[in-house]
Amino acid sequence: MNNRDYASVVLNELHHTLSKIDIQKANEFVELVDQAQEVFCAGAGRSGFQVKGFAMRLMHMGINSYVVGETCTPNIRENGLLVICSGSGETKSLVNHANKAKEVGAKIALITINPESTIAKLADVVVEISAPSPKSAKQGDIKSIQPMGSLFEQSEGIFMDISIMMLMEKRNLDSDTMFGRHANME
């Protein structure tokens, strides 16, 4: 296959996974983010990279957002929201973060392949992305030509970008307003 062939297959895979996301769960996710006083974002590996991008866009919107594990991240409190991206929903460090958030009364939103996972049982909302991953007990309903969990990781990133657009609409924000908060020390 050539570049265009691969692009076509990958875009079809993304369309399949994104169109299967439960609209009600997506709306609940956006509502939790909108109502939170602070949003804490956690993920491991490539899912961690995706959720860091989400934290950045929340900051651009003027929402207090933090990446769990960074040195300047404060403690989570009752009015906070922990957003976890985990294909398996079983990553030990992320399970620990979810338990701590639950202990203090914070809300938890999980983006995952496995809605029956340990973290899912603790979460207030679970957004399921139907994609394959070698680390998840539950596999999505699509076979991907991409390696490992790539389809999940791409899908979660796009889902969070779509959630940002929904929040922008809800808060009457535009890209120009958000760009005013873009880093000026690059």
Q: What is the pLDDT along the chain (186 residues), one digit of tens a residue?
A: 899 999 999 999 999 999 999 999 999 999 999 999 999 999 999 999 999 999 999 999 999 999 999 999 999 999 999 999 999 999 999 999 999 999 999 999 999 999 999 999 999 999 999 987 666 555 556 788 888 889 999 999 999 999 999 999 999 988 888 887 777 777
Helix (H) or strand (E) holding 126: strand 125-128
> How high is the pLDDT of residue 81?
98
Spell out the domains of the chain, with CATH numbers in brackets.
Answer: 3-176 (3.40.50.10490)
Among all residues, which ones are annotated catalytic? Answer: 153
What is the reported pTM?
Answer: 0.93
Which residue, among 27, 26, 6, has the nearest Cα to 17 in the 3D structure?
26
Residue 95 confidence (pLDDT): 98
pLDDT at 13: 94
- Residue 116: per-residue pLDDT: 95
pLDDT at 77: 96
**pLDDT in the model for residue 134:** 67
Distance set, CA 49 to CA 9, 71, 86, 163 (Å):
23, 17, 12, 17
Name beta bridge partners: 126.
110
CA distance 81 to 40: 6
Task: Say how many Å lie between the first and final Cα of the chain, rounded.
Answer: 38
Q: Dig out the tokens for 162 from the structure.
A: 């779509």
User: What pLDDT is recorded for position 148?
Assistant: 87
